[in-house]
Amino acid sequence: MSVTPVPPPSGVVLDGSAPGEKGLKKNAIGFVSSVVIGVASTAPGYSLAAVLGVIVAIAGVGVHAPGVMIAAFVPILFVATAYRYLNRADPDCGTTFSWATRAFGPSTGWIGGWAIVVADIIVMANLAQIAGLYTFLLVGVDDASTAAVTVLGVVFIAAMTFICVIGIELNAKTQRYLLGAELLTLGVFAVVALVRVYVDAPELSIKPELSWFSPFAVDSTSALIDGVLIGIFIYWGWDSLVTVNEETEDSSTTPGRAAVASTVILLGIYVLVSVAAISFGGVDRLADDETGDVLGLLGADVFGSDTLGKILIIAVLTSAAASTQTTILPTARTTLSMARAGAMPKSLGRVHPRYLTPHVSTIWMGALSIVWYVGLTIVSEDILFDSIAALGLMIAFYYGLTGFACAFYFRRELTRSARSFVLAGVLPFLGGLMLLGVFVKSVIDLSDPENSTAGTSWIGLGPPVVIGIGFLLMGPVLMLLWRFSGHPAFFRRRLETAPPGLLEPAREDRT
């Protein structure tokens, strides 16, 4: 049987707010394009280049970094399962905003939507910085000025915003080329590195062992947790594919399947490339890297040429460019959904009559990202980097909220079958608990000023936690201002539970 999405939440509902009624282009992208958007959104090339050395350097992790990647994948998979079931019930492009509104009420839903918006705007500054910097590196300019990098980063944001405005189909096609170049480069790097380890055994190289893939081989629980805290965030971004659910073929099922598939693909990429890098370069070389670019560090040696080594610069560059584009998508569609529900200004809910995209929300997303990026760069690059460290708090918050929302929304249906109990209840709830733990641990770690970029203190705390918690607390303030400035309708919506039979296996689950 196919599952019909449930109606909008009870209470006052605005016309055009329900899934499929917002005016977005229907059936514009299929399963493959959805997976491409999900994988590209995480910027796997850049994520590996920036994070692998940090994980390897954690005392007790070392060669077991691939096992840490596997451990970090677990809560992500559990949350992806939550996305699959919630999207089946409510294929709304507002995702966490819409789902948390149903499960926990409009106030919680509003804060969930706010966390998505803030996280995406913050990360855009970092992606633009990387795209600008690596463009200069690609053409041989190793010491480009901050102003030049910033200008080029702004150009990247503007270009990707334009592509997102003129159509989801062009967006998806662009992603295929960018991701294809990125994955091809990473694949060639991994294969060449591993072949050389076995053929000519470069100095410091180590042959892989099965123990590398076991999280339980890490020397201490503390080291494993620290590694997982970092590892979780390199998976972030795949949920972008679910925010284009109303523009996807078979909107109630395809995005959910694509969400799970994209996280599994990411796991394969991260494990393969991390094994290749550790095998070729050795633990000490990766752990001692201070460039923040492990792949660039190894590139010339793996390929035996500085010129050929530049293909890894292409991987990081295309990774950042693709992620810049796909990061615009979720924010524009989240604010579209919130506006159509009466939770944000009405103008953000407009859809372009020709391109059938949320052009107003998209342009605002690009403009705010540019303002944030340029403003932080002018004030201090240290604050820019601290804001990126704070990003993890928003990610853990709204991913965890989604896991809890799934278990709570379906709570009356979970006992109908063991399958439903595990997949729609236990796994999403465990994913939420794990991410709650990540949130708390991150707050504790980031509270220490020594863990900030400059080692400075703001009101006795580290700048990253002040930025992260500050932005999250700004959400309730803005929400109350919106509510009491003449917009109470959205906040009269009542909590819901899933209608009977919604968890019965759909046809695609049986095949």
461 - beta bridge partners?
458
Q: Which of 300, 325, 50, 5 is nearest to 168 (CA)?
A: 325
Assigned domain for 501 exists: no
Q: How open is the CA angle 478-381-321, to the nearest 5 degrees? A: 80
Strand, helix or coil at 461? Answer: strand
The predicted model scores a pTM of 0.91
Q: Which of 280, 268, 281 is nearest to 66 (CA)?
A: 268
Whether the CB-CB separation of 265 and 35 falls below 8 Å is answered with yes
State residue 505's pLDDT score. 62
State residue 401's pLDDT score. 97
Q: Which of 62, 143, 158, 144 is nearest to 371 (CA)?
A: 158
Assigned domain for 6 exists: no
How far from 438 is each of 213, 237, 346, CA to CA, in Å?
Answer: 22, 17, 35
CA distance 47 to 65: 14
Assigned domain for 230 exists: yes
How far from 48 is each of 41, 43, 272, CA to CA, in Å?
Answer: 14, 9, 11
CA distance 98 to 83: 12
Assigned domain for 383 exists: yes
Token couple for 423? 């997949």
Mean pLDDT of the chain: 89
Residues of the chain with pLDDT under 50: 1-4, 12, 507-508, 510-511
State residue 486's pLDDT score. 92
**Per the structure, how many domains does the chain have?**
1
Q: How open is the CA angle 335-339-340, to the nearest 5 degrees? A: 120
State residue 101's pLDDT score. 97
CATH of the domain at 229: 1.20.1740.10
Whether the CB-CB separation of 61 and 218 falls below 8 Å is answered with yes
Q: What count of Cα atoms within 13 Å lies in the side-chain half-sphere of residue 42?
A: 29
Whether the CB-CB separation of 246 and 159 falls below 8 Å is answered with no
Give one DSSP letter per residue of 241-277, joined into a string: HHHTGGGBSSTTTHHHHHHHHHHHHHHHHHHHHHHHH
CA distance 482 to 342: 10
H-helix or E-strand spanning residue 180: helix 168-199
Assigned domain for 508 exists: no
H-helix or E-strand spanning residue 67: helix 65-89
What pLDDT, in 10s, does the model give residues 250-269? 998 999 999 999 999 999 99
Assigned domain for 507 exists: no
User: Which residue segment(s) compose the domain that 432 sits in?
Assistant: 31-485
